Structure 1
Amino acid sequence: MSQTPESMLSDVADSLLRIEMALRQLDAWASSPPPDEAFESDQPFCIDTMAFPEWLQFVFLVRMKVLVEQGGPLPAVSGIAPMAEEHFRSRPESGDALVRALAEMDRLLSEPS
Structure 2
Amino acid sequence: MDLRANQLLSLLMDLEMHLRSASLWQAQLPSQAALASTQPFCVDTLEFQQWLQFVFIPRLRVLAETGQPLPLLCNVAPMVSDGDVFTGVNARAEIVHTLEQIDALISN
| TM, length-normalised to structure 2 | 0.92
CA distance in 1, matches of 2:96, 2:34: 24
5 Å-filtered alignment, 1:67-86, equals 67-85=63-81, 86=83
CA distance in 1, matches of 2:49, 2:8: 19
CA distance in 1, matches of 2:5, 2:89: 31
5 Å-filtered alignment, 1:99-110, equals 99-110=96-107
CA distance in 1, matches of 2:57, 2:89: 22
5 Å-filtered alignment, 1:39-54, equals 39-54=35-50
Please list the CA deviations of residues 27-65 of structure 1 after superposition, one character each: whole Å capped at 9, or x if unmatched. Answer: 001101111110121110001100000000000011011
Matched, 1:20 2:12: no
Paired AA for residue 110 in structure 1? S
CA distance in 1, matches of 2:28, 2:66: 25
Aligned residue pairs: how many? 105
> 1:28 is paired with a residue of what secondary structure?
coil
**Which blocks of at least 5 consecutive residues in structure 2 are unaligned?**
none
Please list the CA deviations of residues 55-77 of structure 1 after superposition, one character each: whole Å capped at 9, or x if unmatched. Answer: 00000011011111111200111
| TM, length-normalised to structure 1 | 0.88
Give the root-mean-square deviation of aligned CA atoms: 1.2
Which of 79, 89, 94 matches 1:93?
89
CA distance in 1, matches of 2:89, 2:3: 34
Identity of aligned residues (%): 37
- Deviating above 3 A after TM superposition, structure 1's stretches of 4 or more consecutive aligned residues are none
CA distance in 1, matches of 2:5, 2:14: 14
